[in-house]
Chain A
């Protein structure tokens, strides 16, 4: 399974290497070119992991700021895209955890009669995504933990091999296999529930 890539040159690692060499000399145009070539991929991954467009846009911006600020630390020992995958997955999963903590705090505050609930803002990820695309897959994905969601997105939506996922996430390949097996079981259960409510 693979997604349609808007940029046919998105996988040109030599081109990326040239742009990075230029960017390291302080050429901001080179970073803009990297953004143009890879933004669609960054946004797709962020959207699948965070589950809503607002967070995905914010994550996308954070990712490129981080790329710009830490490009000097990019050793080139792995492909730029591998490095990029790690940054976007870390940013997106971190955003999901922050949202979950905020919601948990809100729930606790609402449960406490001494605390004013304040204005209710229905900002939950499931609400936003379900509103945009009422899709059992989205809901099944959102029921996974961010870590499991990330491996599913990289494997099935971005078509990365197990080895590439392991490199991108900095975890052993058996761990990738284990997470994918757990994720597939959970997805199967969710999808079956949606199919036969």
Chain B
């Protein structure tokens, strides 16, 4: 093992821990005048920098989150709150059931992609009126028979709300339609203005 990682101080008096902190914590910080001239500090810093290269690589490497994890977590939370709900899309070849959580997440994501939208909470209008456990049935090929969606938004202060609402409606409708779920109405409620 190198003595530089075990000795508390270098022959020049510099603390090894300080050099280690500098090399790991602020690797791009400029050397002090002493470090630039010191025959002990410079190679030690270089050694520490090389030693921790694998750590820097690991930090830069994205961590793959299991794609189903958010669903698992949401299901667990929903089990605490209420039951599982589904949207059923009737088509010529049969019925496709999509979890309401998936539909709402798609809606929220679409809305949050619009400039000025900081947060979005989607709900299906009329969802609470139907019998518990029954599917929300929509037809894939009948105009006006799609889902009705309500969005509560937190948006940037000072933004043109009418234009924002139009853009959100268009984005949400297009995204859901592209996923095979028709939309008949998107009600936009601005719940908060954020600075």
Contacts and interface: CB of A to CB of B under 8 A. Distances in A.
Range, interface on chain A: 35 or more
Nearest to B108: A33
A159 B80 CA distance: 34
A193 B77 contact: no
A163 interface: no
A27 B121 contact: yes
Contacts of A140: 55
Interface string A33-61: 10110011001100100000100010011
Interface stretch (B67-75, B159-167, B170-178, B180-188): B67-75
A113 to B, nearest CB: 39
B118 A14 contact: yes
B56 interface: yes
Contacts of B74: 32, 35
A12 B122 CA distance: 19
Interface stretch (B16-24, B89-97, B131-139): B16-24
Nearest to A48: B63
A118 B154 CA distance: 56
A28 B104 contact: no
A191 B69 contact: no
The SS class assigned to the B binding surface is helix
The SS class assigned to the A binding surface is helix
Interface stretch (A75-83, A100-108, A181-189): A181-189
B123 interface: yes
A60 B73 contact: yes
- Interface centre among B6, B69, B80, by most chain A C-beta atoms within 10 angstroms, is B69
B62 interface: yes
B188 to A, nearest CB: 15
Interface of B: 1-2, 5-6, 17, 20-21, 24-25, 48, 51-52, 54-60, 62-63, 65-66, 69-70, 72-74, 76-78, 80-82, 101, 104-105, 108-109, 112, 118-123, 152, 154, 191-192, 194-195
Given A19-B119, A43-B63, 10 more contacts: A29-B122, A29-B123, A32-B77, A32-B104, A33-B120, A36-B105, A39-B65, A64-B77, A68-B80, A137-B58
